[in-house]
Structure 1
Amino acid sequence: MAQLLNYIVWNPDTQAFGLWGLSIRWYSLCWLIGLLLAYFIVQRLYKEQKVKDEYFDPLFVYCFVGILVGARLGHCLFYQPEHFLSSWQHVVEMFLPIKYLSDGSWKFVGYEGLASHGGTLGLMIALYCYYRKTRMNLWQVLDDIAIATPITACFIRLGNLMNSEIIGKPTDVPWAFIFERVDQLPRHPGQLYEALAYAVFFVVGWWLYRKQPQRVGTGFFFGLCLTLIFSFRFLIEYTKDIQVDFESGMWLNMGQILSLPFIVAGIYCMKRKKSAR
């Protein structure tokens, strides 16, 4: 027992509060806070850049749908394809927040499983669709979203922490967490590492924007965001436990493999011939 006092024992209730008979979970709440913060940040950027007001609200809809659909499909297809492609019921579960029971009935469970790589890819596709509709400078749109993205990523990882998911490997560092819903082993709080890093990346990106706002529209901030987030994601995977069984024994896990294309794309965007809007 004395040894346990050296670590942080972690087992919060996944429900933040109840509302009209519905259970509002911390994970959903963190997603909502992260998206709302990004909403207000990009709204401010659009106003500073004198973008027409009617171009802003559609952007939020495109981003919300793109991130949610991409993150959900990314988890299902990257990490559990053998499950979600095994029957029509599981295919339905990919798109609807329900789970079929053994007796054929179903229950509402929310979206259990969202992948950041899929969310990023979904966001990029959504932004391209938004660009095709508005004919705004695509690089300006990507840069503005990239400035706000790290703060959303920060709150999503805090949501993972509240769910005691995406846990780290066993360790004896004094700041280790004991995730009681998992086991009694002290582990790296990988979710917290990422949340803190993304908060720092947001501050860095915002500071650079205030210093050099003329870089918006060149792709620099978009490239910086991809490079910082996915380089850190690649490295932090070494402290995380495997998420699915097939990763056991792999030299690079799925998270690292999926991070590499985003890192390459980020470096390219930062170094491409820059032409501001």
Structure 2
Amino acid sequence: MPTAANLLAIMPFPDIDPIAISIGPLAIHWYGLAYVAGILLGWAYARRIAANDSLWPGNRSPLSKTQLDDFIVWAALGVVLGGRLGYIFFYDLSAVLRDPVRAVEIWNGGMSFHGGLAGTTIAMIIFARRHAIPIWSLFDIVAAVVPFGLFFGRIANFINGELWGRLTDVPWAVVFPTGGPFARHPSQLYEAGLEGIVLLLVLALFVYGMRALKSPGFISGVFVCGYALSRIFVEFFREPDAQLGYLLGTSWLTMGMVLSSPMILLGLWAMLRARRQAALQL
């Protein structure tokens, strides 16, 4: 158990300005840049995957570059609207009911991955039906590139000094400006590494090494299951949202764990379904 003495001995985190670029009245925040970087890199990677016919069933890509370009706007709206509504519903509903204006104050609370996932899923379903694109293949190509956004989003969380971890005295502990005088786990970096870098590499292995896109839905299952396992693991090091705290009277159960646990079953189901469908077509 860390003591106050060794917690206070750790160097404080540099107070980085959340505004990355300021030109006159125009202020660009790190969080905004993270969204842009994640979307642009994800889009570029998705175009590369879509252009490689040999990765897909029948050696033919299910969507054109034009369709993929058009979908970017849908995806961005799904992420932003779903992410904000998800945060309100899962983490901040009582406060918004007291003060509805708080709903549009994105800087006051933030976004929810699970809400963004729901919003993007709805956008994918509508877009796929309108353009006659196989829905599971669209799910797969989006799943393969989402880790870009997760990585940059968590790095922005770290720069902003938000969503920090629990108290610790590990050598790499950080004293965040808004986290009190004690050192904490840099849980944002744990998430950036697991949900971003590791998950991206695992998905790339399945896409290029195992040609898993030929089994529509399998990559989606790997992503959903991989994200859930990563998130649940990091939740043991991450401080829960102050307005919720730990759930059910425990000292460990968080909303992130509750929302992520069903995703493991969903991911496993998607992988099994994909393999079963592929076997039937042999």
Match of 1:69 in 2: 81
1:113 positional shift: 0.9
CA contact (8 A) 1:72 1:113 kept: yes
| Structure 1 Cα separation of the partners of residues 148 and 162 of structure 2 | 19
Amino acid at match of 2:240: I
Amino acid at match of 1:46: A
Query: Residue by residue, what CA displacement relative to the aligned partner does 1:135-194 show, whole Å, maximum 9, x if unpaired?
Result: 111111111111101121111111111111111001000011110233221100110000
Residue 56 (structure 1) aligned with residue 57 (structure 2): no
Query: Residue by residue, what CA displacement relative to the aligned partner does 1:238-267 show, whole Å, maximum 9, x if unpaired?
Result: 111121333335332111111112221111
Q: Aligned to 1:39, which of 29, 33, 43?
A: 43
When residues 216 and 143 of structure 1 are mapped into structure 2, their CA distance, relative to the original with a 3 A threshold, is farther
CA contact (8 A) 1:230 1:263 kept: yes
Give the alignment's TM-score, normalised by structure 2.
0.85
Amino acid at match of 2:79: I
Match of 1:177 in 2: 174
Residue 245 (structure 1) aligned with residue 243 (structure 2): yes
| Superposition map of 1:63-102 within 5 A | 63-87=75-99, 90=100, 92-94=101-103, 96=104, 98=105
**Secondary structure in structure 2 of the residue aligned to 1:260:** helix
**Secondary structure in structure 2 of the residue aligned to 1:239:** coil
| Structure 2 Cα separation of the partners of residues 32 and 19 of structure 1 | 18
Residue 236 (structure 1) aligned with residue 240 (structure 2): no
When residues 207 and 19 of structure 1 are mapped into structure 2, their CA distance, relative to the original with a 3 A threshold, is farther
Residue 11 (structure 1) aligned with residue 15 (structure 2): yes
Amino acid at match of 1:234: I
Stretch deviating more after TM superposition (209-218 or 145-154): 209-218
When residues 112 and 247 of structure 1 are mapped into structure 2, their CA distance, relative to the original with a 3 A threshold, is closer
Give the alignment's TM-score, normalised by structure 1.
0.87
| Structure 1 Cα separation of the partners of residues 144 and 274 of structure 2 | 20
Match of 1:268 in 2: 269
| Structure 2 Cα separation of the partners of residues 119 and 2 of structure 1 | 39
CA contact (8 A) 1:144 1:216 kept: no
| Structure 2 Cα separation of the partners of residues 3 and 237 of structure 1 | 21
Unaligned runs of 5+ in 2: 54-60
Q: Give the superposed CA RMSD.
A: 2.2
Match of 2:165 in 1: 168
CA contact (8 A) 1:72 1:111 kept: no
Q: Percent identity?
A: 28
CA contact (8 A) 1:226 1:265 kept: yes
| Structure 1 Cα separation of the partners of residues 162 and 46 of structure 2 | 29
Match of 2:57 in 1: none
CA contact (8 A) 1:7 1:175 kept: no
When residues 64 and 216 of structure 1 are mapped into structure 2, their CA distance, relative to the original with a 3 A threshold, is farther
CA contact (8 A) 1:7 1:174 kept: no
| Structure 1 Cα separation of the partners of residues 109 and 64 of structure 2 | 37
* Count of residues in correspondence between the two structures: 262
**Secondary structure in structure 1 of the residue aligned to 2:216:** coil
Amino acid at match of 2:119: G
Unaligned runs of 5+ in 1: 99-108
**Secondary structure in structure 2 of the residue aligned to 1:70:** helix
Match of 1:103 in 2: none
CA contact (8 A) 2:221 2:267 kept: yes
